[in-house]
Amino acid sequence: MKFFIDTANLEQIKEAQALGILDGVTTNPSLMAKEGITGEANIINHYKAICKLVDGDVSAEVIATDFDGMVKQGEELAALNPQIVVKLPLIKDGIKACKYFSDKGIKTNMTLVFSVGQALLAAKAGATYVSPFIGRLDDISTDGLNLIAEIRQVYNNYGYQTEILAASVRHTMHIIDCAKLGADVMTGPLKAIEGLLNHPLTDIGLAKFLADFKKGN
């Protein structure tokens, strides 16, 4: 499973990259705003800075909601760096734009996906990634993980190559469950990724090894 970090915070991206397990970055306008990155020029510069920090795919989201606007913004974003993946909302014009970009060999990430039907359309339009938002479904008492399982089944039925990118991951168990269900990628906060490290028996065992080593020295 690929690991993406879901942030626009450069320090956290650096920290995840230093772990040696990072495959890419996802951002969105809210994550940019959270870091105080506003205005087109600053956002563009921030994407460039993120691309310098990591080797893998960096999702950059369009703001336009009409086909022509999405194509214009997506082409500008894609021209910044070959690592850029054009992130498009799963609406009618988003699907049209996805098909346009996939025909041109430009990578896409269909975002704000909350149903199997939407994921089916994303695959048909040739999306590189489809992003079901599992945490936001959980927030409204709907099983987000079940959506991952259903999309996996449908994609397997037809051999669709679109990668399932589990998004809106909120905690460590989400990552483990997504891995069990066969998500191709997960994107989550650094804290959820680092949670995978934790086990009390590791800490107890290490403390004992170090104590026993000291006895013999």
Which CB, 191 or 201, lies closer to ligand E4P?
191
Question: Residue 27 CB: number of other CB atoms within 10 A?
Answer: 26
Interaction of residue 168 with ligand E4P, rule CB under 6 A: yes
Q: Between 75 and 114, how does the x/- string for binding to ligand E4P read (CB under 6 A)?
A: ------------------------------------x---
Q: How far is the CB of 216 from ligand E4P (least distance, A)?
A: 49
Chain residue at closest Cβ approach to ligand E4P: 168
3-state SS record for the chain: CEEEEECCCHHHHHHHHHHCCCCEEECCHHHHHHCCCCCHHHHHHHHHHHHHHCCCEEEEECCCCCHHHHHHHHHHHHHHCCCEEEEEECCHHHHHHHHHHHHCCCCEEEEEECCHHHHHHHHHCCCCEEEEEHHHHHHCCCCHHHHHHHHHHHHHHHCCCCEEEEECCCCHHHHHHHHHHCCCEEEECHHHHHHHHCCHHHHHHHHHHHHHHHHCC
Choose, from 2, 34, 72, 87, the residue flagged as catalytic.
87
Concerning whether 87 is annotated as a catalytic residue, the answer is yes
Q: How far is the CB of 71 from ligand E4P (least distance, A)?
A: 21
* 8 A C-beta contact, residue 54 and residue 83: yes
* 8 A C-beta contact, residue 126 and residue 99: yes
Using only the alpha carbons of the chain, give its radius of gyration.
19
Q: How far is the CB of 4 from ligand E4P (least distance, A)?
A: 8
Number of residues in contact with ligand E4P, rule: CB under 6 A?
A: 11
Q: How far is the CB of 58 from ligand E4P (least distance, A)?
A: 11
Which CB, 129 or 155, lies closer to ligand E4P?
129
Which CB, 36 or 159, lies closer to ligand E4P?
36
Q: Between 118 and 157, how does the x/- string for binding to ligand E4P read (CB under 6 A)?
A: -------------x-x-xx---------------------
Interaction of residue 167 with ligand E4P, rule CB under 6 A: yes
Catalytic residues: 87
- List residues near ligand E4P by CB under 6 A: 6, 26, 28, 111, 131, 133, 135-136, 167-168, 187
